[in-house]
């Protein structure tokens, strides 16, 4: 729509007020402002978290970054690290932030290994809450985490206690998307079996993972088919690699084995493309909405509740008596007040008479 048409073209029609342009106005404004999205990865050490996010975004979308050579291995992540890339596509700007977390060990005692991760998420909420309640609300830096990819090892027959506890610790703070990592270690039938098992267990243990929203009935058939396929493929089985190999005469991102090549972006090898499509093309906005409408709202409500009860507690310490609201006196009280007034008046009169007597008869 041109500026001209927005202002003039519909003017003569009396039944057209013009609010039908609202979606266009919103569109223009949001394109101008740009978008942001923050993705986090979590799970046991060595499951390929850093490799996958690199395959997903950093090398893929950030054009200036070169692909790593086979020798340039990704190092073990030792602290929470944040990478931000500004990308642009058809004039739409996206600020993408990846939060890579160090994996927990495979030790039996992994008590509270999720704490640094949940603390990080809370800290971003806290920062946003402070900024939102402060004076400079216009330039708020929103670092809230919109999605956490939780990596499940391919070697187990289902969820381990630590996976259950970790996801439960995350579930009310962030959209959790479970992934079967290193899917190249499994055959297609093993993947199918593990997915079924994981779906059952997620249900059984009441783990709240990110739920894909229902598809609108007016969507076209192709979209509906893709949406169904997406839901049926969950939890996605993924493969990561930062090396480019030669396959079928083409250079593709993949893993080279003595017996063949595993292609990261080949849909018959793994769900990598489905995951990327879901995160970027189809569900980014929903993930952001749920973060702000559910997870952040929960945090905010809890914060306000804690602040209110603390304020009440402080007041009670300062004045041991409860502060009651002023009320209008009832009938009984008014009677008592009148009687008291009468008494005072009588006393005053007697005092005046007494003084007069004293003046007359000194
Ligand atoms: N077979 C296989 N190996 C993978 C895959 N993704 C990563 N790896 C390898 O697994 C090893 C660990 O990968 P990282 O990406 O460092 O794992 P991480 O989860 O980030 O580990 P921490 O930083 O310790 O938490 C590396 O040697 C990777 O090359 C995969 O999909 N399949
Ligand atoms: Mg890592």
DSSP string covering 218-275: TS-HHHHHHHHHHHHHPSEE------EEEETTEEEEEEEETTEEEETT-TTT-SHHHH
Residue of 148, 133, 128, 164 lying closest to 299 (CA atoms): 128
Q: pLDDT value at position 185?
A: 94
- β-strands 260-263, 250-257: how paired? antiparallel
Among the residue ranges 252-256, 283-287, 333-337, the one predicted with the least confidence is: 333-337
- Ligand 1 and 182: CB distance under 6 A: yes
Which of 48, 101, 155, 184 is the pocket-test mutation for ligand 1 (most atoms within 8 Å of CB)?
A: 48
The answer as to whether 181 is a domain residue is: yes
Beta bridge partners of 89: 92
Compute, in angstroms, the gap from residue 51 CA to the centroid of ligand 2.
7
**Cα 110 from Cα 162, distance rounded (Å):** 7
Ligand 1 atom 7 nearest Cα: 48
Name the residue with higher pLDDT: 74 or 29: 29
Count of all residues that appear for the chain in the document: 362
Give residue 190's pLDDT band: very low, low, confident or very high (50, 70, 90): very high
Does residue 178 contact residue 235 with C-beta atoms inside 8 Å? yes
Ligand 1 pocket, residue 262 CB under 6 Å? no
pLDDT at position 322: 46
Identify which ligand lies nearest to the alpha carbon of 237.
1
Report the share of the chain in percent with pLDDT over 70. 80
CA of 264 to the centre of ligand 1 (A): 14
- Average the pLDDT over 73-84 and give the result: 83
Task: Print the domain residue range for 294.
Answer: 26-103+113-214+229-243+273-310
| Residue bearing the bigger pLDDT, 121 or 4 | 121
Identify whether 286 is part of a domain: yes
User: Which of 2-6, 148-152, 243-247, 352-356 bottoms out in mean pLDDT, i.e. has the lowest?
Assistant: 2-6
Reduced to 3 states, what is the DSSP secondary structure of residue 87? strand
From 46, 49, 101, the mutation candidate for ligand 1 (largest count of ligand atoms within 8 A of CB) is 46
Task: Please tell me the total count of domains within the chain.
Answer: 1
Please tell me whether residue 209 adopts helix, strand or coil conformation: coil
Per-residue pLDDT at 338: 73
347 domain residue, yes or no = no
Residue 300 lies in a domain: yes
Looking up residue 208, the CATH number of its domain turns out to be 3.40.50.300
Cis peptide bond upstream of 235, omega within 30: yes
- Residue 154 Cβ inside 6 Å of ligand 1? The answer reads no
Q: Would you say residue 33 lies in a domain? A: yes
User: What pLDDT digit, counting tens, does each position of 93-147 carry?
Assistant: 889 999 999 998 866 667 889 999 999 999 999 999 999 888 777 778 899 999 9
52 Cα–ligand 1 center, Å: 8
In a domain, 18, yes or no: no
Q: Determine the pLDDT at residue 54.
A: 85
What is the residue with the minimal CA distance to atom 1 of ligand 1?
182
The distance from CA 328 to its chain's CA centroid, rounded to whole angstroms, is: 50
3 state SS for the chain: CCHHHHHHHCCCCCCCCCHHHHHHHHHHHHHHHCEEEEEEEEEECCCCHHHHHHHHHHCCCCCCCCCCCCCCCCCCCCCCEEEEEEEEECCEEEEEEEEECCCECCCCCCCCCCHHHHHHHHHHHHHHHHHHHCCCCCCCCCCCCCEEEEEECCCCCCCCHHHHHHHHHHCCCCCEEEEECCHHHCCHHHHHHHHHHHHHHHHHCCCCCCCCCCCCCCCCHHHHHHHHHHHHHCCEECCCCCCEEEECCEEEEEEEECCEEEECCCCCCCCHHHHHHHHHHHCHHHHHHHHHHHHHHHHHHHHHHHHHHHHHHHHHHHCCCCCCCCCCCCHHHHHHHHHHHHHHHHHHHHHHHHHHHHHHCC
59 lines ligand 1 (CB under 6 A): no
Reading the block at residue 3, the tokens are 């500026």
Mean pLDDT, residues 342-359 taken together: 66
Token representation of residue 234: 């969950």
Least reliable range by pLDDT among 163-177, 201-215, 233-247 = 233-247
Q: Is the CB of 74 under 6 A from ligand 1?
A: yes
Distance of CA 259 from the midpoint of ligand 2 (Å): 27
Ligand 1 proximity of 235 Cβ (cutoff 6 Å): no
Structure tokens that stand for 121 in this block? 């998420």
User: Does any domain span residue 261?
Assistant: no
pTM here is 0.80
Mean pLDDT (the chain, rounded): 83
Could you tell me if the CB of 184 is within 6 A of ligand 1? yes
The span from the CA of 38 to the CA of 53, in Å, is: 12
Angle at alpha carbon of residue 22, lines to 20 and 26, rounded to 5°: 150
DSSP designation for 324: P
Residue 47, C-beta contacts closer than 8 angstroms, at least 6 positions apart: 103, 151, 152, 153, 181, 182
Of 42, 43, 51, the residue with max ligand 1 atoms within 8 A of its CB, to mutate for a pocket test, comes to 51
Interval 52-62 mean pLDDT: 69
The region of weakest confidence among 21-30, 53-62, 209-218, 289-298 is 53-62
306 assigned to some structural domain: yes
12 has pLDDT over 80: no
pLDDT category of residue 226 using cuts at 50, 70 and 90: confident
Range 155-183 average pLDDT: 95
pLDDT score for 321: 47
């Amino acid at each position: 729509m041109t500026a001209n048409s927005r202002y003039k073209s519909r003017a003569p029609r009396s039944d057209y007020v013009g609010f039908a342009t609202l979606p266009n106005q919103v569109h223009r404004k949001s394109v101008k402002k740009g978008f942001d999205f923050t993705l986090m990865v979590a799970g046991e050490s060595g499951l390929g978290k850093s490799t996958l996010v690199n395959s997903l975004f950093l090398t893929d979308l950030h054009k200036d970054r070169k692909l790593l050579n086979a020798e340039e291995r990704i190092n073990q992540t030792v602290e929470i690290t944040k990478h931000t890339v500004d990308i642009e596509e058809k004039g739409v700007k996206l600020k993408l932030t990846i939060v890579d977390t160090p994996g927990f060990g495979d030790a039996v005692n992994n008590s509270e290994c999720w704490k640094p991760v949940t603390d990080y998420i809370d800290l971003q909420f806290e920062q946003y809450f402070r900024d939102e309640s402060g004076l400079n609300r216009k330039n708020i830096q929103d670092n809230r985490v919109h999605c956490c990819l939780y990596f499940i090892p391919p070697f187990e027959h289902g969820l381990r206690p630590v996976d259950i506890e970790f996801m439960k610790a995350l579930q009310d703070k962030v959209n959790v998307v479970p992934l079967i990592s290193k899917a190249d270690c499994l055959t297609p039938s093993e993947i199918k079996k593990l997915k079924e098992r994981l779906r059952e267990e997620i249900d059984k243990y009441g783990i709240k993972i990110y739920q894909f929203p229902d598809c609108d009935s007016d969507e076209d058939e192709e979209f509906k088919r893709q949406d169904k396929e997406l839901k049926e493929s969950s939890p996605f089985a993924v493969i990561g690699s930062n090396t480019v190999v030669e396959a079928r005469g083409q250079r593709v991102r993949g893993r080279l084995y003595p017996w063949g090549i595993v292609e990261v972006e080949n849909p018959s090898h793994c769900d990598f493309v489905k995951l990327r499509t879901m995160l970027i093309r189809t569900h980014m906005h929903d993930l952001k909405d749920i973060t702000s409408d559910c997870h952040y709202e929960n945090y905010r409500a809890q914060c306000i509740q804690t602040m209110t009860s603390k304020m009440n507690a402080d007041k009670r310490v300062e004045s041991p008596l409860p502060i009651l609201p002023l009320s209008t006196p009832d009938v009984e009280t008014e009677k008592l007040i009148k009687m008291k007034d009468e008494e005072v008046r009588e006393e005053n009169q007697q005092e005046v008479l007494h003084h007069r007597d004293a003046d007359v008869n000194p």
